[in-house]
Amino acid sequence: MKTRNILILAAAMLLCGTITAQNVNVVNDAGVSKAELEEVTLRIKDKVGDFVSALGDLVDPDISTGTKRSIRTTSLNLFIGKGDRYHVTQTNRYGQDSSYWHEPVQMETIQSKRNQKRSKSYMRDYLTGLIEKVTFRHVKIESADAIRVDSFQKTGDGKYQAVAYFLQHYMRYNSTDSYQVYSDYTAKKVVIYMDRIEEVMPNGQLSVRWIIRLGDISAEEIW
């Protein structure tokens, strides 16, 4: 999914909010119902949407620095590890669990349409930069309102992963914000980490809840 045509087609598919039969089959094989999959998918889309909306707030000149710092904290809470290192557990093909510490969540960016240089930074530093760097004083960041959830799989006992794709619209204006001097769309992919927790309620009924966290975000293509 690294060509523009495929990404644009994927974005169009996302807007209809459908889930492919293949994804449902994969999750059913892991013991999760279609109804659960649909509910979790909506929650993932909400979390990704909340994050992209927060990016726009962090570069909004009408929002105070103090409020932006609170938004940064809230945004980091959407991610696994909350901006710090986090523990990952996976099950191999022999049914054996292995775990390791993963470095803090990262954000990958592409400099511009003409300069395709890629760079990565820790999410906590990226969000701080949106608040403090002069280069973001005359910038707007918006979601293209296209989020697709894919590749849902079980990675361990009660642990699942997926990926979500979204389009991010970046706009830069002149020093007086009177006209736009640059604009691009970047297709991005975010890893999703999920814990499925079953609990028996006092009345004997089984309750299932999901803990969903965002992970590394990579830049797929820019145009």
Looking at residue 31, what is its pLDDT? 66
**Cα distance between residue 92 and residue 77, in whole Å:** 29
pLDDT at 220: 94
Task: Specify the pLDDT at position 29.
Answer: 52
List beta partners, residue 99: 89
* Of 172, 174, 150, 175, residue with least CA distance to 160: 150
Q: Count structural domains, the chain.
A: 1
Predicted pLDDT at 145: 59
- Asked whether the beta carbons of 120 and 114 are under 8 A apart, the reply is no
177 phi-psi bin (left φ>0, alpha ψ -120 to 50, beta other): left
Radius of gyration from C-alpha coordinates of the chain: 19
Model confidence pLDDT, tens digit, residues 113-129: 999 999 999 999 999 99
Query: DSSP E strands: which ranges in the chain?
Result: 86-91, 97-102, 106-110, 118-122, 139-156, 159-173, 180-200, 206-222
E-strand stretches of 49-117: 86-91, 97-102, 106-110
Query: Domain range holding 187?
Result: 4-222
Alpha-carbon span 192 to 150, nearest angstrom: 10
Cα distances (angstroms) measured from residue 150 to each of 6, 111, 208, 216: 14, 27, 22, 15
CA atoms within 13 A on the CB side of 114: 2
Per-residue pLDDT of the chain (223 residues; tens, 9 = 90+): 444 444 444 454 444 443 333 343 345 455 688 888 999 999 999 999 999 999 999 999 899 999 999 999 999 999 999 999 998 877 777 777 778 898 999 999 999 999 999 999 999 999 999 999 877 778 888 875 568 998 898 888 888 999 999 999 999 998 887 889 999 999 999 999 999 998 888 988 888 899 999 999 999 999 9
pLDDT score at 124: 97
- Say which DSSP state 79 is in: B
Check if the beta carbon of residue 73 is closer than 8 Å to that of residue 184: no
221 bridge partner residues: 187
**pLDDT tens string 3-26:** 444 444 445 444 444 333 334 334
Distance CA 102, CA 222 (A): 27
Cα separation, 86 vs 153, whole angstroms = 19
